[in-house]
Each structure stands twice: as C-alpha cells, then as structure tokens.
C-alpha cells in the first residue's frame, strides 16, 4: 500500500487473512503509538508494517509476542540497538523503533514502526527520537530491512511457539538497556524509584524497591531512566 490510516487498523479490518500476512505502507495518515499516542509516519521515510498472527496457543501472552519482535528487530538492525523494556528499540538514549501489538478475536496484530531515513523529527520528540539515517549518516534500504526483520521474527516466533518465551529470555536480557539501572516506574501519575535487575522467564521486569522485590508486567506501568528516557 502507498497510503493507509494505520497498518494495524488495515490488519484488523482484514483479520480473516491467513497467519503470517504482512500489511505494509509507505505512509500512514493516522499512525498509532502505544497509550493512545500517534506515530510519526512520514512518506517513504520509515517502515510501517503490521504482521497478522493466528497463534495456536489459546492463552497466548500478547505482550510476549512484542518482546519476541523486539529481539528480531535488534538482530535485523545491527546498529548498536538495544531494548528499553518492554518494547522500544533504542540507539543510545533515543528511540528508533516502536511496537504496538493488539489482539482482535483469535488474531494478534504486531505493528512495527522503524524510523529509517527520517532526517528530522517534530520539536516535541526530537530529544527522544532518532533514525538509522541520523545515527549512521547514510540512507538505508527499507525493503531489505523489512525482509531481515521478518526472517528473524520467523525464526524466533518458531522458538517461542514451540518452547515459550523462556527460550528467548537470555537474548532479550542481553539486549535490554533497562537492566542494572535505577529506573522510575510511573503508574497513574504515581512515581516509584526502583532498581531493575532482571527479566523473568515470562518477560516481566524484575525490580527491587525499599519494599522488596517485584515483578512488573508490561502495560502495567511506564518505565523511565533516572536521568532521561532510557
Ligand atoms: C509505540 O508507541 O512505540 C508503538 C509504535 C508503533 C507504530 C507502528 S507503525 C506500523 C503500525 N501501525 C500503526 O498505526 N502503529 C504501528
């Protein structure tokens, strides 16, 4: 597609298509981010795609699919990328890619936005957003990256499907920029400072506060570094 509102929305409208169908656009007029935010989707600059999945497991954990996708993207981008738990791909202290996974009926839609050749961002996000072009000083081929992400995802999804997230946990943890750091957890305007020390077999963030050790599930809270976004 050249243009659509949001590849996630297109995938939802066509969720009767087979497992593995990929919806991809050159531009989105209503790109969606997490927590009701919008996703900057300038024409031909980024990768805007949504993968339609029909998981066989009846009680699939949608948030774990997002973590699997995050590892696939890091493998594919190779540009010193790390994961800000749970699912932002960062280079240094700035975000280069976001993932929005949604469930509709028996389908799961994994929406991926990668800032590839974007040269500048709106004022509100320039200090937290980056692109492969900005980081490397050269243009990148979007088709090539997209194919690489899908190849890596296919391999990892197979491991996830047959062995569970536990089999991917170590690689996820090795890529996770949130670990071994003081973080701020923000829930309903309440902030708690904690030390993030590990990732569980299910993909939860393990934290320690003055009150003890806790598991944090993605979607429950937003996590920030003590000094900035990562
Ligand atoms: C985030 O907030 O970090 C998630 C961003 C997800 C953006 C992608 S772009 C392709 C797909 N279609 C959308 O509308 N959103 C996702």
Q: Cα(209) to centroid of ligand 1, in Å?
A: 32
Q: Residue 116: which of 97, 90, 93 has the closest Cα?
A: 97
The pLDDT value recorded for residue 226 is 63
Q: What tens-digit pLDDT sequence spans the chain (230 residues)?
A: 799 999 999 999 999 999 999 999 999 999 999 988 999 899 999 999 999 999 987 667 888 999 999 999 999 997 789 999 998 999 999 999 999 999 999 899 999 999 999 999 999 898 999 999 999 999 999 999 999 999 999 999 999 999 999 999 999 999 999 999 999 888 777 888 999 999 999 999 999 998 899 999 876 667 777 666 77
Q: Cα(99) to centroid of ligand 1, in Å?
A: 6
For the CA of 46, the closest atom of ligand 1 is: 9
Q: Residue 30: which of 1, 59, 8 has the closest Cα?
A: 8
Pairing of strands 190-199, 205-209: antiparallel
Asked if 220 and 185 count as a contact pair (C-beta separation under 8 A), the reply is no
Q: Residue 98: which of 165, 167, 46 has the closest Cα?
A: 46
Is 0.85 topped by the overall pTM? Answer: yes
Asked if 65 and 108 count as a contact pair (C-beta separation under 8 A), the reply is yes
* E strand spans, the chain: 3-4, 22-25, 27-28, 46-53, 81-84, 88-91, 94-104, 107-115, 181-187, 190-199, 205-209, 212-216, 222-225
Give the mutation target among 33, 46, 118 for probing the ligand 1 site: most ligand atoms within 8 A of CB: 33
* E strand spans, 20-93: 22-25, 27-28, 46-53, 81-84, 88-91
Closest residue by Cα to atom 2, ligand 1, is 33
Q: Cα(211) to centroid of ligand 1, in Å?
A: 35
Here the tokens at position 207 are 């934290």
Instruction: Report all structural domains of the chain as residue ranges with CATH numbers, in order of start.
Output: 3-175 (3.30.930.10), 181-225 (2.30.30.100)
Q: Cα(40) to centroid of ligand 1, in Å?
A: 9
Ligand 1 binding pocket, CB closer than 6 Å: 6-8, 28, 31-34, 37, 39, 48-50, 88, 98-100, 111-113
The pLDDT value recorded for residue 220 is 62
For the CA of 95, the closest atom of ligand 1 is: 3
Cβ neighbours of residue 53 under 8 Å, at least 6 residues apart?
19, 20, 65, 107, 108, 109, 110, 157
pLDDT digits (tens, 9 = 90+) for 80-130: 899 999 989 999 999 999 999 999 998 999 999 999 999 999 998 989 999
The pLDDT value recorded for residue 172 is 98
The pLDDT value recorded for residue 56 is 84
The pLDDT value recorded for residue 121 is 92
């Amino acid at each position: 597609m050249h243009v659509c509102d949001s590849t996630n929305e297109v995938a939802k409208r066509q969720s009767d298509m087979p497992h593995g169908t990929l919806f991809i656009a050159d531009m989105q007029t209503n790109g969606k981010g997490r927590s009701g935010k919008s996703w900057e989707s300038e024409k031909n600059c980024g990768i805007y795609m949504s993968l339609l999945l029909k998981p066989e497991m009846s009680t699939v954990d949608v948030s774990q699919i997002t973590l699997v996708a995050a590892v696939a993207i890091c493998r594919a981008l190779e540009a010193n990328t790390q994961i800000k738990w749970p699912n932002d791909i960062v280079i240094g202290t700035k975000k280069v890619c976001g993932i929005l996974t949604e469930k509709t009926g028996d389908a799961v839609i994994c929406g991926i936005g990668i800032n590839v050749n974007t040269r500048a961002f709106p004022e509100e996000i320039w200090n937290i957003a980056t692109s492969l072009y900005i980081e490397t000083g050269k243009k990148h081929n979007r088709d090539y990256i997209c194919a690489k992400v899908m190849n890596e995802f296919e391999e990892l999804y197979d491991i996830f499907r047959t062995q569970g997230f536990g089999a991917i946990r170590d690689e996820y943890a090795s890529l996770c920029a949130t670990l071994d750091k003081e973080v701020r957890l923000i829930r309903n305007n309440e902030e708690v400072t904690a030390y993030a020390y590990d990732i569980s077999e299910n993909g939860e963030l393990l934290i320690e506060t003055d009150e003890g050790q806790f598991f944090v599930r993605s979607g429950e809270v937003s996590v920030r570094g003590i000094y900035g976004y990562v």
